[in-house]
């Protein structure tokens, strides 16, 4: 769907993007991750044709990026903004028509979304009369009203209360189900694992990691398990051939231990060793969160 | 192009629908007409407050020779000065004019009152006294005053201008007024509408809607749409003002003229003035009216209006592009000051030079060059046009104005496209130059 090839963007005295290439597949939810100032917004602006790259190309559905693609892209910028004195309905209509929609169709779609988002009564209100959360909802509708095939959301949940954030999440998933490809730019990793199929990590204007969330997580597994148990009087004996104990914790509910299993051995072997000695209540594999991977990657590079 | 049209529409209607626009549109002509009506009203009604003046003329020269006017009522009395003073204080008489017998040698005529007399009352009385005295002295010298009045020359130079269409009356006064008004209107409106463009750009930047918009249209389209939309607001306002003013003026005119009483009053007053004015004091009011209406007909209004609209538009396009660039470079209005000076300076400079120099020397080299340079020509040329400008000069100036507009728009657009996406940075002139040099 979207192919970003060797993009370089140089500003006067710093390089915002350095040879960044990303492939986004049709119908996926793609997470564009990176700390503040990494170059995410620069990349998004290039996809939106707000700025042009110094070198490199962007292709959409096998076509080189050109003004005809504007109608296919919906963009929710990180810095939200609407005309404060303009009536909501009129404003929606204006934005939709700027994206190339016909007047009648735009009105129909706006009415559909207003009903869906429970904002029918807002048509004649002005933006300045709405709460911040309501403004966010309006902005979201403005982003998707022209049924874009590619939706780019820059920090979509900032400024939403949990209830509205959930509504927006559901809407995003629904749009995705209907075939829209979604690019999701954020530095808040929790939201990523829940939503994204693929991610790319950008740090200091370079892409440092790229792939499906599952694969990335798998590649960062290191045979670490968390075991919860009740010690029946005495604790279990160590077995350095089977595992190393990383940490041990005693709580009111019982004991907790983190172990790294030696290569060649399995969790089953460890359980076989432990079961005769203690009462096991839970065993889970410790898979690093994207956040941990992110921090690990970034600190390793620094 | 279609999207630019949408932007023009929004910019236009969002402003025209505002209450402040309607208010301005109706209030300004009303204010003008109101002022005009007030002047006429005062002129007709005059000072209703009639002043009673007792004249104690011990010389006997002025007895019954002072004529009552609309606000002066003379009463001639006899008696002693002291008694007259006391009487004046107790009665309703406002002034006591005391002419001693020996006033010609000692010039000690006095006017006594409780309150200070107005300057024009004293002047009026002085005029009348002088006229009477002059007549008396002329007669004493054996000169017939009737002969003198007849011999008094009444000169009025008719300025005539030779043009392609033949000779025509050239009224310098009317040219002056028309040029002044047109230049002033352009000067003011360039500021008003230029600032509106700048505010619009800053609004889009501070509300951050700019990012949504430029993901749909090119920054240049947005800038152009905004400039054209607001320019049309300006034209609409001018058009409404012209129509409303013309309508109201006609209405007021018919109402006033149809009023026979008023008309006779105006005529009567003209005669009064003419009769009362010291011989040789110049035009009477009715003559002034005549001259003015005659002068007004020498002005080619469609031509002036056409060039006015052209220079307003041209000047507006040049300056609003610059204002847009300034708006894009700052985060809020208070920061605009450092960039405003080089924009407003040529305007203020031309206006001052225009009002003091060009009106007096419409054909001097300085006037010529100021009316050629695109940044100054909208004001300078408008002052010159009523005096008559050769067609080639006008054509050259207009061409240069269009060229200047294209050039400034190009420069402004290059700054604008970068500026609108820059937040939270204090911008310097160096930075602007850097933005200008950026590639797409």
Q: For testing the chain B interface, which of A8, A14, A42, A81 should be mutated: the one with the most B CBs within 10 Å? A: A81
Residue B291 pLDDT greater than 70, yes or no = no
Identify the residue whose tokens are 């220079």. Answer: B311
Output the six-digit token pair for A165. 């954030």
Q: Do A75 and B203 touch (CB under 8 A)?
A: no
Contact B215 A73 (CB under 8 A): yes
Across B235-249, average pLDDT: 82
- pTM: predicted TM-score of the whole model, two decimal places: 0.74
- Is the pLDDT reported for residue B262 higher than 70? no
Q: Which of chain B's residues have a Cβ under 8 Å away from the Cβ of A51?
A: 421, 440
pLDDT greater than 50 at residue B276: no
* Strand A63-64 versus strand A55-60 pairing type: antiparallel
For chains A and B, CB pairs below 8 A equal 61
B352-359 CB contacts, 8 Å cutoff, 24+ apart: B353/B380, B354/B183, B354/B379, B354/B380, B354/B383, B355/B180, B355/B183, B355/B383, B358/B383, B358/B384, B359/B176, B359/B179, B359/B180, B359/B383
Q: Where residue B277 falls among pLDDT bands split at 50, 70, 90?
A: very low
Q: What percent of chain A has pLDDT over 90?
A: 27
Lowest mean pLDDT segment, chosen from A247-256, B28-37, B262-271, B317-326: B262-271
- In the beta sheet, which residues pair with residue B369? none
Q: Where are the alpha helices (DSSP H) in B354-376?
A: 365-370
Q: Give A-chain residues touching B229 at CB under 8 angstroms.
A: none
Contacts of B365 (CB under 8 A, 6+ apart): none
Look at residue B269 and tell me whether its pLDDT is greater than 60: no
- Yes or no, beta carbons of A94 and B10 under 8 Å apart: yes
Which site among B7, B13, B216, B420 would you substitute to test the A interface, given the most A Cβ atoms closer than 10 Å to its Cβ?
B216
Q: Which of A50, A87, A92, A96 to mutate to test the interface with B (most CBs of B within 10 A)?
A: A50
Q: Which residue of B has its CA nearest to A146?
A: B216
Could you tell me which residues of chain A have a Cβ less than 8 Å from any Cβ in chain B?
Answer: 12, 45, 48-52, 54, 70, 73, 75, 77, 79-86, 94-95, 97-100, 139, 142
CB contact under 8 A, A77 and B214: no
Contact B240, A103 (CB under 8 A): no
Q: Do A73 and B217 touch (CB under 8 A)?
A: no
Beta strands per DSSP E along A13-54: 14-24, 29-33
The whole-angstrom distance between B209's CA and the closest CA on chain A is 4
Average pLDDT over residues A38-58: 89
- ipTM of the predicted structure? 0.81
Per-chain mean pLDDT for chain B = 80
Partners of B210 on chain A (C-beta within 8 Å) are 81
Residues in chain A: 302
**Which of B128, B327, B364 shows the shortest CA–CA distance to B227?**
B327
Give B173-228 pLDDT, tens digit per residue.
677 777 888 888 889 889 889 999 999 999 998 888 888 898 889 899 999 999 99
- pLDDT band of B161, cuts 50, 70, 90: low
Cross-strand bridge partners of residue B162: B167
Mean pLDDT, rounded, for A102-129: 90
> Average of pLDDT values for A41-46?
90
For residue A238, report the phi and psi dihedrals to the nearest 5 degrees. -70, 155
What is the nearest CA distance from A262 to chain B, expressed in angstroms?
Answer: 53
- Chain B residue with CA closest to A68: the answer is B216
B299 vs B238, higher pLDDT: B238
CB-based contact B207 A94, cutoff 8 Å: no
CB contact under 8 A, A79 and B203: no
Instruction: Supply A299's token pair.
Output: 């600190």
Nearest CA in chain A to B216: A99
pLDDT of B352-403, one tens digit each? 988 888 888 888 899 999 999 999 999 999 888 888 888 999 999 999 999 9
Paired tokens of B83: 């008694």
Which residue in chain B is spatially nearest to A69 when comparing CA positions?
Answer: B216
* pLDDT tops 80 at residue B47: no
Interface of B with A (CB under 8 A): 3, 6-7, 10, 14, 203-204, 207-217, 421, 423, 434, 439-440
Judged by CB atoms closer than 8 Å, whether chains meet at B212 and A50 is answered as no
């Amino acid at each position: 769907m979207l192919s970003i090839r060797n993009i370089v963007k140089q500003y006067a005295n710093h390089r915002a993007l350095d040879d960044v290439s990303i492939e986004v597949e049709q119908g996926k939810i793609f997470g564009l991750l990176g700390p503040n100032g990494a170059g995410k917004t620069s990349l998004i602006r290039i996809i939106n044709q707000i700025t042009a790259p110094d070198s490199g190309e962007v292709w959409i559905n096998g076509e080189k990026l050109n003004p005809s693609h504007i109608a296919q892209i919906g963009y929710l910028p990180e810095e939200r903004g609407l005309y404060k004195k303009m009536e909501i309905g009129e404003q929606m209509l204006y934005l939709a028509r700027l994206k190339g929609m016909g007047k009648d169709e735009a009105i129909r779609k706006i009415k559909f979304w207003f009903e869906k988002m429970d904002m029918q009564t807002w048509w004649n209100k002005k933006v300045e009369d709405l709460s911040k959360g309501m403004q966010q909802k309006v902005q979201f509708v403005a982003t998707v009203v022209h049924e874009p095939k590619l939706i780019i959301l820059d920090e979509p949940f900032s400024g939403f209360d949990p209830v509205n954030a959930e509504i927006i999440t559901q809407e995003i998933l629904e749009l995705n189900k209907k075939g829209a490809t979604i690019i999701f730019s954020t530095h808040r990793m929790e939201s990523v694992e829940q939503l994204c199929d693929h991610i790319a990590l950008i740090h200091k204007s370079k892409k440092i990691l790229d792939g499906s969330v599952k694969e990335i997580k798998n590649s960062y597994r290191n045979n670490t398990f968390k075991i919860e148990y009740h010690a029946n009087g005495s604790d279990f004996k160590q077995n350095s051939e089977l595992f190393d104990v990383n940490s041990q914790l005693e709580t009111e509910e019982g004991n907790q231990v983190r172990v790294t299993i030696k290569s060649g051995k399995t969790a089953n072997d460890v359980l076989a060793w432990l079961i005769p000695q203690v009462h096991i209540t839970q065993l889970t594999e410790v898979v690093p969160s994207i956040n941990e991977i992110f921090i690990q990657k970034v600190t390793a590079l620094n | 192009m279609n999207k630019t049209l949408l932007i023009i529409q929004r910019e236009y209607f969002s402003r025209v629908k505002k209450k402040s626009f309607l208010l301005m549109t109706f209030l300004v002509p009303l204010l003008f007409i109101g002022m005009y009506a007030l002047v006429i009203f005062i002129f007709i009604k005059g000072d209703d407050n009639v002043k009673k003046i007792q004249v104690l003329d011990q010389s006997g020269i002025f007895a019954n020779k002072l004529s009552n006017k609309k606000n002066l009522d003379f009463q001639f009395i006899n008696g002693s000065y002291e008694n007259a003073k006391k009487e004046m204080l107790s009665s309703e008489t406002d002034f006591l004019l005391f002419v001693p017998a020996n006033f010609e040698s000692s010039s000690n005529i006095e006017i006594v009152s409780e309150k200070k007399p107005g300057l024009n009352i004293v002047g009026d009385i002085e005029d009348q006294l002088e006229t009477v005295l002059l007549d008396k002295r002329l007669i004493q010298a054996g000169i017939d005053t009737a002969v003198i009045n007849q011999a008094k020359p009444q000169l009025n130079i008719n300025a005539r201008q030779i043009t392609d269409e033949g000779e025509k009356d050239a009224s310098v006064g009317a040219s002056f007024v028309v040029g002044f008004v047109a230049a002033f209107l352009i000067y003011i409106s360039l500021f008003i509408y230029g600032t509106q463009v700048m505010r619009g750009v800053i609004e889009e930047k501070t509300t951050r809607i700019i990012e949504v918009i430029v993901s749909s249209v090119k920054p240049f389209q947005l800038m152009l749409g905004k400039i054209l939309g607001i320019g049309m607001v300006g034209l609409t306002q001018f058009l409404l003002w012209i129509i409303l003013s013309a309508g109201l003026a006609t209405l007021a005119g018919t109402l006033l003229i149809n009023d026979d009483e008023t008309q006779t009053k105006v005529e009567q007053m003209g005669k009064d003035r003419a009769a009362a004015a010291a011989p040789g004091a110049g035009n009477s009011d009715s003559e002034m009216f005549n001259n003015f209406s005659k002068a007004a007909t020498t002005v080619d209004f469609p031509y002036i209006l056409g060039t006015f609209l052209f220079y307003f538009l041209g000047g507006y396009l040049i300056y609003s592009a610059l204002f847009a660039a300034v708006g894009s470079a700052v985060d809020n209005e208070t920061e605009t000051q450092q960039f405003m000076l080089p924009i407003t300076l040529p305007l203020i400079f031309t206006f001052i030079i225009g009002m003091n120099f060009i009106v007096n020397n419409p054909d001097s080299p300085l006037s010529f060059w100021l009316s050629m340079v695109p940044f100054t020509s909208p004001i300078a040329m408008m002052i010159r046009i009523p005096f008559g400008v050769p067609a080639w000069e006008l054509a050259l100036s207009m061409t240069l104005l269009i060229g200047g507009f294209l050039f400034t728009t190009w420069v402004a657009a290059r700054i604008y496209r970068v500026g609108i996406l820059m937040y939270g940075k204090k911008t310097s002139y160096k930075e602007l130059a850097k933005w200008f040099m950026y590639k797409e």
